[in-house]
Amino acid sequence: PLADIGVTGLAVMGSNLARNFARNGFVTAVHNRSYAKTKALIDEHGGDGVFVPSESAADFVASLAKPRKILIMVKAGEPTDAVIEELAALVEPDDIIIDGGNAKFADTRRRQAALAERGIHFVGCGVSGGEEGALNGPSIMPGGSAKSYESLGPILERISAHVDGAPCCTHIGTDGAGHFVKMVHNGIEYADMQLIAEAYDLLRRGAGLSPARIGQIFGEWNKGDLDSFLIEITAQVLSQVDAETGAPFVDVVVDAAGMKGTGTWTVQTALDLGIPVSGIAEAVFARGLSSAAAHRAAAAGVLPGPDGTWPIADVDAFVEDVRIALYASKIVAYAQGLDEIFAGAAEYGWDINVGAVARIWRGGCIIRAKFLNRITEAYDVSTGIELPASLLLAPYFTDAIANAQDSWRRVVAGAATAGLPTPGFAAALSYYDGLRSERLPAALIQGQRDFFGAHTYQRVDKPGTFHTLWSGDRTETQTA
Ligand code: NBP
């Protein structure tokens, strides 16, 4: 039979997605640059369903039913361009080429525009959830034309994760919208992980609790508002004991966090759009600092400051304060990430339903969490807040943060006093206080800018643009 869908690029992600398609009853064409991976997939997992393997790209394309749907799962960047070029020469107008790799959304926009000129649909598709998600149900964020989603959507929805019966896949928006949203997803993931790490550090160095005990605490937290995949795996990582030394696993691992770049892209894009995503930025910077081995070694024991000791009278109350501060900071980080999505949508003309985005993040991805239901409710088109307002203005979240105030401030202030770094918690609180301030010191900055660069300013009491003759008699002139 002709295949319903094809996958080219059969490394871990591609082969698991191909198996997922096959297991869901789709006839699945498979192809890889070197045939060995294709053969291995058929030999090891041929029983998962109906596969149609091909050695050549031409045979692969010929094995597909029209309109052809071809998912590319190769290394992002040049390999993706090479494969697109090869396929584009073989397919016909109305066929659909999908890039499921971690592409930059700007590359996706470029590729979509180029293929559209040839009548080919190009769908940049964010796929989250790693190899486990690929096999058992990822969160899928497809962009591209609405037309392509008509035939592609049902297949992707079928293989995606499902939560409460709803697929974790929806058409995000045109051209690069899917990869943009996947990028912000990863940025939020960075922020979430950083905040969790700070909470751990506060409990470890601040309260002197053991990793095993903190693991239990995270296990408890996972039953409440913080219920999420990342909290759940944090509990497991903290309870892990190193087989060789008998020491807690977290104590034998080098404290330098790696990264592959999507967090950085999220922050770079936010800077381009002028959106303050301080929680995500601090998370990227914190990974950078952790990896700055020479700097840290030179500073350790030299730069003075408190040693992290925290006089804690009531440990249970402290633990609860940290939990609440974590939740409040997390809400801010998500609000900032969603602001970036609103800004991207406005800049690139995407009609993105943010409530639906939160809904498809509930399963099959790293930031899956119970509280995403609340975000979906907050942005419900019929009953939610007016777009593109900050998530913090949705009544549920306004209340949650209002109730968190005392704990959040005690934790951030105490951490500063004790000398424990909490860039994520502190940035979130500063952002919150900045957002709600009626007056910000930006007026002074406008004065400075006008002083040294004649950059002009606006007045609070009348329209127009003004400049003060700082180097003259300091009278005010109206410039527009
Ligand atoms: P890799 O990113 O390791 O890519 C390996 C695949 O790319 C192999 O099939 C390889 O073929 C193929 N390839 C390369 Br490299 N250069 C090629 C070229 N010039 N022409 C044709 N094929 C080429 O695989 P992965 O880890 O499965 O990830 C696939 C994509 O999914 C990436 O974009 C990744 O960022 C993204 N992603 C990964 C994860 C994850 O958890 N790993 C999660 C979400 C998204 P060969 O076998 O012939 O060398």
Residue-wise pLDDT tens digits, 145-160: 999 999 999 999 999 9
pLDDT at 118 over 80: yes
| Mean pLDDT score across all residues of the chain | 97
Task: State pTM to two decimals.
Answer: 0.96
Which tens digits make up the pLDDT trace of 437-473?
999 999 999 999 999 999 999 999 999 999 999 999 9
Could you tell me if the CB of 79 is within 6 A of ligand 1? yes
**DSSP conformational letter for 393:** G
464: left (phi over 0), alpha (psi -120 to 50) or beta: left
Output the pLDDT for position 416: 98
pLDDT at 385 over 90: no
Could you tell me if the CB of 82 is within 6 A of ligand 1? yes
pLDDT at 384 over 80: no
pLDDT band at 386 (very low <50, low <70, confident <90, very high): confident
To the query of whether residue 66 is one of the catalytic residues in this protein, the response is no
Query: What amino acid occupies position 404?
Result: A
Could you tell me if the CB of 73 is within 6 A of ligand 1? yes
CA 82 to ligand 1 center in whole angstroms: 12
Q: 213-236: buried (b, 16+ CB within 10 Å) or exposed (e) per residue?
A: bbbebbbebbeebbebbbbbebbe
Could you tell me if the CB of 101 is within 6 A of ligand 1? yes
Q: Could you list the beta-strand ranges (E) of 102-231.
A: 121-128, 139-142, 162-163, 166-167
Could you tell me if the CB of 127 is within 6 A of ligand 1? yes
Pocket probe for ligand 1: among 38, 75, 135, the residue whose CB has the most ligand atoms within 8 Å is 75
To the query of whether residue 55 is one of the catalytic residues in this protein, the response is no
Indicate if ipTM > 0.90: yes
Q: 362-385: buried (b, 16+ CB within 10 Å) or exposed (e) per residue?
A: bbbbbbbbebbebbbbbbeeeebb
Q: Of how many residues is the chain composed?
A: 480
Q: Residue holding tokens 């549920």?
A: 396
* Catalytic, out of 37, 69, 104, 189: 189
* Catalytic, out of 157, 182, 198, 340: 182
pLDDT band at 75 (very low <50, low <70, confident <90, very high): very high
Q: Which long-range contacts link 441-445 to residues 24+ away (Cβ below 8 Å)?
A: none
Q: Is the link from the previous residue into 142 a cis peptide, with omega within 30 of 0? A: no
pLDDT at 127 over 90: yes
Distance CA 209, CA 420 (A): 15
Nearest alpha carbon, ligand 1 atom 11? 33
What sign results for the dihedral spanned by CA atoms 85, 160, 134, 25? negative
